[in-house]
Amino acid sequence: MTDETTPASAAAETEDNGPAFAVQRIYLKDLSFETPMGAAAFQKQWQPKVNQDLSTKSAQIAEGIYEVSLRLTITVTDGEDTIYLIEVEQAGLFAIRGLEPQQITHVLNTTCPNMLFPYAREVIDNAVTKGSFPALLLPPINFDALFASAVQQAESEAAEEAKPEDTTH
């Protein structure tokens, strides 16, 4: 018998060593819905102003397994009054292997949040509707553009800090 690698086993070996990305689980990590005005919010005509805050965070929890969390905070106000406030943290576990660290950073900050956003958007719309307010469908978010902007800003700040100080008098 020879120790030659058959084409089928070579393909399987390449699959095992090649880049891989898989969703392990998507779950709701945190949800908060508040109506500070209570019933008074329904007693007046209001012109709502919607403010949206967004953040992501990621952590490696095991070899090749990452948790990514997408936090959305929506505040709807009318003048000084807060009509409602909703915070959603949608999370997921992702298996990632065979990528360079820079590629992993890109996937964790773009691909994963892109997968989580529709779930968070549905939770927000559902909670707002159950709170007896008009439906709130958030527009899509371009996480690739946000990541590129953040990288560019970090590079600009690093370049500013690296400039030699002017010590002439």
Distances (CA, A) of 23 to 66, 94, 99, 113, 127: 10, 5, 16, 12, 25
- Whether 157 has a pLDDT exceeding 70, the answer reads yes
Residue 81 covered by a domain = yes
Select the more confidently predicted residue: 39 or 44: 39
- Whether 159 has a pLDDT exceeding 90, the answer reads no
The whole-model pTM stands at: 0.80
Residue 167 covered by a domain = no
Identity of the highest mean pLDDT range in 1-15, 35-49, 97-111, 141-155 = 97-111
Residue 23 covered by a domain = yes
**Model pLDDT, residue 7:** 47
Residue 10 covered by a domain = no
CA-based nearest residue to 37, from 76, 74, 72, 89: 76
Residues linked to residue 66 through DSSP beta bridges, in sequence order? 60, 94
Identity of the highest mean pLDDT range in 31-35, 44-48, 77-81, 99-103 = 31-35
Once rounded to an integer, what is the mean pLDDT over residues 124-135? 94
- Whether 15 has a pLDDT exceeding 60, the answer reads no
- Whether 8 has a pLDDT exceeding 70, the answer reads no
Residue 9 covered by a domain = no
Map residue 164 onto helix, strand or coil: coil
**Model pLDDT, residue 166:** 56
Q: How many domains does the chain have?
A: 1
Residue 6 covered by a domain = no
Once rounded to an integer, what is the mean pLDDT over residues 42-61? 93
Which residues constitute the domain of residue 28? Answer: 19-158
CATH number for position 34: 3.10.420.10
Residue type, 74: I
- Whether 29 has a pLDDT exceeding 70, the answer reads yes
Once rounded to an integer, what is the mean pLDDT over residues 99-119? 95
In degrees to the nearest 10, what's the CA dihedral of 91, 137, 33, 44? 170
**Model pLDDT, residue 110:** 95
Average pLDDT, whole number, for the chain? 88
Burial readout 73-96 (b: 16 or more C-beta within 10 A, e: otherwise): bbbbbeeeebbbbbbbbbbbbbeb
Once rounded to an integer, what is the mean pLDDT over residues 18-24? 94
CA-based nearest residue to 60, from 112, 121, 17: 112
Residues above pLDDT 90, as percent of the chain = 68
Residue 3 covered by a domain = no
Residue 168 covered by a domain = no
